[in-house]
Amino acid sequence: MSMKRNLLAAVAALSMLAGGVAEAKTLKWGAGREIASLDPYSFGETFTLSVLNHVYEGLVRYTGDLKIEPALAESWETVSPTVWRFHLRKGVKFHNGNAFTADDVVASLERVTHPTSPLKGNLPAYKSATKVDDFTVDIEVNGPYPLLLNDLTNIYILDKEWMVANDALLPTDSGKGVENYATRNTNGTGPFKIESRRADAQTVFVVNKDWWDKPVHNIDRIEFTPITSSATRVAAMLSGEIDFTNLAPLQDLPRLTASPDVKVLQSNELRTVYMVFNMKDKLVESDVTDKNPFKDKRVRQALYQAIDADAVQKRVMRGLSRTTGSLVAPAIPGYVPELDKRPPFDLDGAKKLLAEAG
């Protein structure tokens, strides 16, 4: 992640924001890709959801250290092993001025779990939502399910009145070309509003001065421009055409770091990249004689030990990845250090295991 120094100065000035010292800024964001749609239920992809999180909000959200905290819901409790009760925040307004209530939550949950919704799998245990009163909602799941709050962090709430007025109660699907009013228009409760959008060219966000929460930034405008060419994006950073990019090629980091006008911020992603064995009875269905060799644990272990993960980390990933034996990253709640181990690279041992397996 790289950022120009003058923007860093603005970020550094955030501590003075409460005193009214910091000057508002326009952030020119050169992104590595376009968002799929303005409808947060249209495409189950992390980048699109993270960008739309500037506009829409969920009942709960993650803090910077990945702890769950209240958002549109102020508190919650379980009233039975399968029913969660959420107490909603009062006084919240959608960008068009409509009041946020329980009706919006129920309509949004029904929309995102609709059979045609691309995001229905993001709420795998959801059964139903019931309005208790204007600011209380019960969510029923299909069994005891401790991960509901995690799932709800990327389920954003839309305005029911707005959806009804614009015939947008049903979800869209950008992958299948299914669109409605929500594809190109927004009405959230979040810290930014969409001022304008030209797909594949630029989307402009402006600060929502009526946001219920206190902003932790001094940005009043975001000009989001997708620049899919890595070379063009890096050139735009170096020339000052953009202030920020969330995606810089590994091979260009030394050049960006060397620039006096650019600050490079590096961190491991939460994503784990791994390979999966084909565990079918046969590798090829038409094969009538041989069984799948991956069924033999010794074969799987041999391939594991035959990959020099440290060499991949140093040469392919240029030292910027982390070799792991766990699917869960250290920053994610639930990470267990004792499980984050892998056997060392052992080519001779791998050959021996393959010989034993025939």
The pLDDT of residue 57 is above 70:
yes
Domain end marker among 190, 225, 258 = 190
Percent of the chain's residues with pLDDT above 90: 72
**What mean pLDDT, rounded, does the chain reach?**
89
DSSP string covering 185-232, please?
-----SSEEEEEEETTTEEEEEE-TT-SSPPS--EEEEEEEE---HHH
In a domain, 306, yes or no: yes
- 130-155: per-residue pLDDT in tens? 999 999 999 999 999 999 999 999 99
- Please give the tally of structural domains in the chain: 2
Considering the domain architecture, whether residues 304 and 172 belong to the same structural domain is answered as no
Residue 143 belongs to domain spanning: 39-190
C-alpha to C-alpha distance for 64 and 32, rounded to whole angstroms? 23
C-alpha to C-alpha distance for 86 and 94, rounded to whole angstroms? 19
CB under 8 Å to 300, separation ≥6 — which residues? 277, 294
What does the pLDDT read at residue 289?
65
What does the pLDDT read at residue 2?
39
CATH code of the domain containing 90: 3.90.76.10
- 233-252: per-residue pLDDT in tens? 999 999 999 999 988 888 89
Q: Which of 318, 317, 322, 321 is nearest to 337 (CA)?
A: 322
Residue range 80-92: average pLDDT? Answer: 97
Considering the domain architecture, whether residues 176 and 45 belong to the same structural domain is answered as yes
- Give the chain's radius of gyration (CA, Å): 24
- 322-353: per-residue pLDDT in tens? 899 898 888 887 889 999 988 899 999 999 99
* Helical pair 297-305 and 347-356, crossing angle rounded to 10 deg: 160
Structure tokens at 261: 């006008």
In a domain, 120, yes or no: yes
Considering the domain architecture, whether residues 46 and 140 belong to the same structural domain is answered as yes
What does the pLDDT read at residue 180?
96
In a domain, 314, yes or no: yes
